[in-house]
Amino acid sequence: MTERAKTVHFIGICGAGMSAVAKLMQDDGWNVSGSDNGFYPPVSTFLEQEGLSCKTPYAPENIPPECALVVIGKHAKLTPEQNAEVKSAFERQAKGEVAIVSYPQVLNLLTQSTHNIVVVGSYGKSTTTTLLAWSLAHAGVDPSYFIGAIPLDFTANASRGTGKFFVLEGDEYPSANWDSSPKFLHYNAGTVLLTSCEHDHFNEFPTLASYLTPYRKLLSTLTADNLLIACLDGKEVQNVIRDTKARVVTYSGQNNPNADWFVSAIALNEAHTRFTVCKRNQQTREIVQEIEITTQLLGEHNVQNIVGCVATLVEQNALEARAIQDAIAAFRGIRRRLEIKSNTSSVFLYEDLSSSRPKAVAALQALQERHPQSHIYAIFQPHTFSFRSRQALDWYPLMFKGVHSVLVFSPPNLRGLSGAEQLSHEEIWDAINHGNTCPVIPVANAEEIIQNLNHASLSRGDVVIFMTSGGMEGSIQPVIEWFEKEYPSA
């Protein structure tokens, strides 16, 4: 290809998926540039580390003159009507100067010649995708991978490997503002790992039926030559997989008698979680394999993620048990998934994405298991469309069961939902208050967080968790620094 033909520009490059695909195209020999409206860690750190440029704010001149391909993100404001840079790209496409694609379309081209393991579901996707990719890489298999989060063990969230496997985190969301097909339909799935189909993303999928439609479409593309690894613990999974033609293998993070892969002898309160992953023969139901697992990850939800990973690798004959054990023992996780934020405070500080009720509950339960004698203080921001939707009112009662105190950080501007659909900060605060016996306090900045925590008289070994898919308007780092000063570990 000429230099012009191998030059690509990403509009909205700071999205997790967009930045990962930009890295993959750079690995594939493309000259990559990008733009976004903001430039913040951890994605900004990743882009700088990989030598990927990001211009801000959006402007037509950000698109290089020699550019032949433009990848545009799915953000609601990345349309010609609302964004001058996007408008310029479409004008140049009309003149035949550039081609415009979505990042799922790019992944479609990059996955033509590999065996693609696509991880889908309403939760656990990022961790399970990373576990699979890490296990293969740790064993020297050199997979390609695409992860919608920043791993702790890889230097990047995407890579073009030389092995036959390509592990991808699959998203049910529409591919682009001009393409309503689900992203994961573009990924040429050979194996699908399905974690759950619990109703989420109410702004895009107002009913459960509409939410399940993309999953049904994906599974309808599978044939008897494909493998479907399905979690029986996940809501609606048995309903969705009923008509698939793929070979189905089921798993559970519990001792489920109906699952092909399940867990026994679990110990969650130790510094390292230990358990046994067992495999049943599908015909005789006899146990035919047992694999002892040790992990640094917290919580029953991560036990479930690990069982799905083990089942996939064994059923694909990808790795031997010893290699899987070694890889999982070494795995540290991904950023913003119960990530420890400080090693110099006597109070345990965690950050978790907590973008839906199941994720928030799983994170809190994991901390209660790991720190059973500690008080837990939650700083929660209802950042996602789902948490801010009126349909989420029943998510809030008892969500913080067992927590000592909840600080409710103001949500971002409620855009994308009509006035009738959206919840106010006060309504969210009232909903959390309903059924919770602990104090529930609204806060709006770092100073108010610190003031309330200062009055709480925390003790060594207590736990504070930041729960948001956003950044709490820059409040997290100042609070961490306050803890390191006021509650030093030494």
pTM of structure: 0.85
Match 């495999």 to its residue by tokens.
279
pLDDT for residue 345: 94
Whether residue 407 is predicted with pLDDT greater than 90 in this model: the reply is yes
pLDDT for residue 193: 98
**Which of the four CATH numbers 3.90.580.10, 3.75.10.10, 3.40.50.720, 2.40.50.140 does domain 7-101 have?**
3.40.50.720
With both helix axes pointing from N to C terminus, report the angle between 125-138 and 300-315 in degrees, rounded to the nearest 10.
Answer: 50
**Which of the four CATH numbers 3.90.190.20, 3.30.1360.120, 2.160.10.10, 3.40.50.920 does domain 339-486 have?**
3.90.190.20
pLDDT tens digit string along 164-208?
999 999 999 999 999 999 999 999 999 999 999 999 888 788 899
First to last CA, the chain: 59
Whether residue 5 is predicted with pLDDT greater than 80 in this model: the reply is no
Whether residue 3 is predicted with pLDDT greater than 60 in this model: the reply is no
> In the chain, which residues fall in CATH 3.40.50.720?
7-101
Average pLDDT, integer, range 14-34: 92
Q: Which CATH superfamily is domain 106-330 in?
A: Mur-like, catalytic domain (3.40.1190.10)
pLDDT tens digit string along 217-241?
999 999 999 999 999 999 999 999 9
pLDDT for residue 458: 92
pLDDT interval class at 418 (50, 70, 90)? low
pLDDT for residue 278: 97
Whether residue 415 is predicted with pLDDT greater than 60 in this model: the reply is no
Average pLDDT, integer, range 140-152: 92
pLDDT for residue 170: 96
CA distances from 136 to 107, 140, 251, 321, 432 (A): 20, 6, 20, 12, 42
pLDDT tens digit string along 264-299?
988 876 678 999 999 999 999 999 999 999 999 988
Q: Which residue did the predictor score with more confidence, 1 or 131?
A: 131
pLDDT interval class at 354 (50, 70, 90)? confident
pLDDT for residue 1: 35
pLDDT for residue 432: 85
> In the chain, which residues fall in CATH 3.40.1190.10?
106-330
Whether residue 416 is predicted with pLDDT greater than 70 in this model: the reply is no
pLDDT tens digit string along 51-87?
999 999 999 999 999 999 999 999 888 999 999 999 9
pLDDT for residue 270: 63
Average pLDDT, integer, range 413-432: 72
pLDDT for residue 419: 63
pLDDT for residue 2: 41
> In the chain, which residues fall in CATH 3.90.190.20?
339-486
Average pLDDT, integer, range 149-156: 88
